[in-house]
């Protein structure tokens, strides 16, 4: 016989079996693995791991039993039988909802009826367990179907391919990684989400520098109307990206980093709302540096949370947008405020930009589209350098602004290409 745990009412907590129950158990050849009160049911069931539980309840009020069964939420770990005094229909329904599988009246209990009770309970528990397993499997298949459909849609949109080709990519990746198709599909969507989050956080770095650049551009009289439009668009883009990032499950480190970015943005936004004048540029620049550092920390936290090596190239490429704006900003600040320290940063930013550009050009993650964009970036980089060298002339400043915006546009395209590349999505 399967190991049986007997549950007795609180007043018989000394473990002594009632005579009628002891006789019925002996007639069935059953020696219980334990006898306990209702209050110890869940803890002892976990410790003893019986195959069946029999509750002996001579009193008509089962409150202690109902309280104990609440912990299992209707799915006890094994077959559960009840022998009790007559109960009304509402209590029977409550007991069934709590997982009781079979019931027998206490006044007619003997060995045959006890054996039949335990068989009924065991059969019903096995049937319910099989149904739960089937239901869980159906839910898993339905859930996986949703993940697969979403992953196919992502690949079709990102790569411009058909449904069959997208499904073939997912199936091939699943076979290669020895994973279920649903697991691979979910991983693809998670990788895309992390890549998008890194791209958006990286945009905040660029926008921090662009906002100072357009302020300096306006003061220097370089296409002031366009500068005002860019300022408005950039501020709206910062807020949009912050709002989007706040909807994602970024983890503890990412959430804390995002809070610091929001605080830094509020400081910069306040500084930008004041009347623009040359002395105020230094304060604006200092607050922009605070936003830049906070956005950098957020981007690094997201890259680490994503735990995919391929995401690094999205971060690396996105950082080039910031450097293009930083170079233009520092050159303009140096022309507007000769005493500013921005001149000192130009050389290091140039070196960082050139080193990152060479790394991107040598990276194995590439495509004809990416190589063509990198060639354009190299040309625009040379234009930007000429603008920096000619910053003292109106023509040089105009060239600087045009080249920095062109570089940002190029690296926006490149970052999106990396974000949507198969190597990143399928990493």
386-422: pLDDT as tens digits = 999 898 898 888 999 999 999 999 999 998 888 777 6
- The H or E element that residue 73 is part of is none
Q: Name the strand (E) or helix (H) holding 103.
A: strand 102-105
C-alpha count within 13 angstroms, C-beta hemisphere, residue 170: 29
User: Is the pLDDT confidence value at 306 over 80?
Assistant: no
- The H-or-E segment that residue 37 falls in is strand 34-37
Residue 148, domain member (yes or no): no
The residue out of 132, 152, 168 marking a domain boundary is 132
The residue to which tokens 């040359």 are assigned: 278
Residues 221 and 283 in one domain: yes
Residue 86 maps to a domain = yes
Highest mean pLDDT among 108-117, 260-269, 278-287: 260-269
Output the pLDDT for position 280: 86
Domain that holds residue 43: 4-132
pLDDT attached to residue 53: 92
Of 103, 93, 110, 138, the closest CA to residue 124 belongs to: 103
pLDDT digits (tens, 9 = 90+) for 266-299: 999 999 988 888 788 889 999 999 999 999 999 9
Q: What is the mean pLDDT of the chain?
A: 87
Q: Are 127 and 188 contained in the same domain?
A: no
Q: What percent of the chain has pLDDT over 90?
A: 42
Q: Are residues 290 and 409 in the same domain?
A: yes
Residue 314 counted as domain residue: yes
**Does residue 348 surpass a pLDDT of 60?**
yes
Assigned domain for 168 exists: no
Domain count, the chain: 2
Q: Are residues 108 and 242 in the same domain?
A: no
Residues 410 and 261 in one domain: yes
Which is higher by pLDDT, 404 or 190? 404
Shared-domain flag, residues 225 and 307: yes
Residues 200 and 111 grouped into a single domain: no
Q: Which residue has the higher pLDDT, 339 or 378?
A: 378
3 state SS of 233: helix
- At residue 113, the pLDDT reads 93
Q: For residue 101, what is the enclosing H or E element? A: none
What pLDDT does residue 160 have?
81
Q: What is the pLDDT of residues 225-255, one digit of tens each?
A: 899 999 999 999 999 999 999 998 888 889 9
Give residue-wise pLDDT tens across range 361-380: 988 877 888 899 999 999 99
> Is 101 in contact with 79 (CB distance < 8 Å)?
yes
Q: Is residue 139 part of a domain?
A: no
Task: Verify that 269 and 404 share a domain, yes or no.
Answer: yes
Please state the rounded mean pLDDT for residues 81-102.
91
**pLDDT score at 425:** 65
End-of-domain residue from the set 111, 132, 153: 132
Going across the sheet that includes 79-84, the strands are 34-37, 4-8, 52-57, 79-84, 102-105
Q: What is the pTM of this model?
A: 0.65
Domain contains 153: no
The mean pLDDT of 140-162, rounded to a whole number, is 86
In-domain check, residue 161: no
Q: Tokens 């023509």: give the residue.
A: 395
Q: Where are the alpha helices (DSSP H) in 247-341?
A: 251-273, 278-306, 311-336
**Structure-token pair, residue 357:** 């550009």
Residues 200 and 335 in one domain: yes
Q: How is residue 188 written in tokens?
A: 């693809």
User: Do 246 and 353 share a domain, yes or no?
Assistant: yes
Last residue of a domain, one of 99, 115, 132: 132
Quick check: is 234 in a domain?
Answer: yes
The predicted pLDDT at position 291 comes to 96
Residue 404, CA distances (Å) to 39, 141, 371, 407 in order: 73, 50, 20, 5
Q: Are residues 219 and 280 in the same domain?
A: yes
Do 195 and 127 belong to one domain?
no
CATH number of domain containing 126: 3.40.50.2300
């Amino acid at each position: 016989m399967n190991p049986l745990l007997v549950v007795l009412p609180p007043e018989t907590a000394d473990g002594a079996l009632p005579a009628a129950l002891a006789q019925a158990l002996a007639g069935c050849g059953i020696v219980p693995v334990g006898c306990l009160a209702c209050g110890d049911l869940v803890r002892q069931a976990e410790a003893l791991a019986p195959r069946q539980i029999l509750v002996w309840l001579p009193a008509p009020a089962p409150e202690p039993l109902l309280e104990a069964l609440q912990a299992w939420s209707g799915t006890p770990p094994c077959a559960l039988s009840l022998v009790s005094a007559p109960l009304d229909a509402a209590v029977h329904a409550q007991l069934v909802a709590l997982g009781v599988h079979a019931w027998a009246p206490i006044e007619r209990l003997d060995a045959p009826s006890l054996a039949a009770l335990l068989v009924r309970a065991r059969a019903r528990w096995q049937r319910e367990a099989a149904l739960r397993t089937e239901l869980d499997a159906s839910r898993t298949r339905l859930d996986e179907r949703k993940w697969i459909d979403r992953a196919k849609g992502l690949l079709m949109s990102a790569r411009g391919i058909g449904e069959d080709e997208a499904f073939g990519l997912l199936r091939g990746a699943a076979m290669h990684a020895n994973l279920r198709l649903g697991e691979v599909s979910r991983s693809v969507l998670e990788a895309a989400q992390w890549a998008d989050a890194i791209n958006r956080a990286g945009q905040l770095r660029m926008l921090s520098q662009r906002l100072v650049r357009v302020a300096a551009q306006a003061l220097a009289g370089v296409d002031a109307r366009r500068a005002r439009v860019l300022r408005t668009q950039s501020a709206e883009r910062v807020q949009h990206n912050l709002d989007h990032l706040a909807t994602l499950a970024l983890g503890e480190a990412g959430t804390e980093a995002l809070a610091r970015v929001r605080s830094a943005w509020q400081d910069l936004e306040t500084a930008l709302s004041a009347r623009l004048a040359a002395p105020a540029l230094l304060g604006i620049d200092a607050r922009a540096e605070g936003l830049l550092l906070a956005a950098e920390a957020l981007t690094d936290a997201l890259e680490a949370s994503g735990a995919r090596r391929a995401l690094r190239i999205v971060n690396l490429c996105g950082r080039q947008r910031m450097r293009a704006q930083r170079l233009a900003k520092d050159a303009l600040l140096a022309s507007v405020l000769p005493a500013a320290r921005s001149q000192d940063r130009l050389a290091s930013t140039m070196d960082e930009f050139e080193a990152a550009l060479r790394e991107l050009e040598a990276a194995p993650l590439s495509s004809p589209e990416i190589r063509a964009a990198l060639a354009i970036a190299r040309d625009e980089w040379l234009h930007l350098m000429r603008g920096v060298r000619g910053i003292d002339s109106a023509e040089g400043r105009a060239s600087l602004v045009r080249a920095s915006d062109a570089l940002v546009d190029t690296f926006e395209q490149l970052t999106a290409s990396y974000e949507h590349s198969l190597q990143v999505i399928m990493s």
